[in-house]
Amino acid sequence: MSGEPSNVRAGAEGDTSSIRLFGFWVYIMSDCVLFATLFVTFAVLHASYAGGPTAKQIFELPGVLLETMFLLTSSFTYGLATLAMRRGARGELLAWLAITAVLGASFVGLELSEFRRLVLEGNGPQRSAFLSAFFTLVATHGLHVSCGLLWMIVLIGQIARKGLSRTMSSRVMTLSLFWHFLDIVWICLFTFVYLAGVV
């Protein structure tokens, strides 16, 4: 028999997971800079209507509240997924991840519906600096959620095929960081863009 002892391999795998997690934290920090820049841009341009509609005239808060409910609930269900993972309950983990993916997809669907309505009403990103900043900020967040959904779907397939290993658990936790980060960004976006826009 040849090869490294299992405890050596496990230790090496743990070190690799730690390095990956650290690298992902660096990525999250860079994303914080990206969103901070977009928020500052929106703050500077939020009153530049160029004769077009104001935020109060175009924002429909009930729809945005529904989006918020879907995304915040998806964060809760992802938390339940991680608890299931720690218990080694693979079926339960897959079920909660699938529910999270459905909630995330519902959020993206509502956001696309809002964009479609605005464009059809003649309030697309080219209408004013305010709308350009709004579309850029919200669409960037939506793109991140869409990437998270794709990642989640791939992860569900991998866990279903390969089971729960240390590597898979590390991937679940890494996606958890990303998903909860997007929730925090959305809460800031909802507060400073939508709520502040309609008061």
Instruction: Give residue limits of the domains in the chain.
Output: 15-198
Note the pTM of the prediction, 2 decimals.
0.89
Which 8-state DSSP code applies to residue 190? I
Cβ–Cβ contacts within 10 Å for residue 21, how many? Answer: 13
Residue 126 burial by CB count (10 A; 0-12/13-18/19+): exposed, middle or buried? exposed
Query: pLDDT tens digits, the chain, 199 residues: what are they?
Result: 444 444 444 444 556 767 887 888 899 999 999 999 999 999 999 999 999 999 999 999 999 999 999 999 999 999 999 999 999 999 999 999 999 999 999 999 999 999 999 999 999 999 999 999 999 999 999 999 999 999 999 999 999 999 999 889 999 999 999 999 999 999 999 999 999 998 8
- 15-198 topology per CATH: Four Helix Bundle (Hemerythrin (Met), subunit A) (1.20.120)
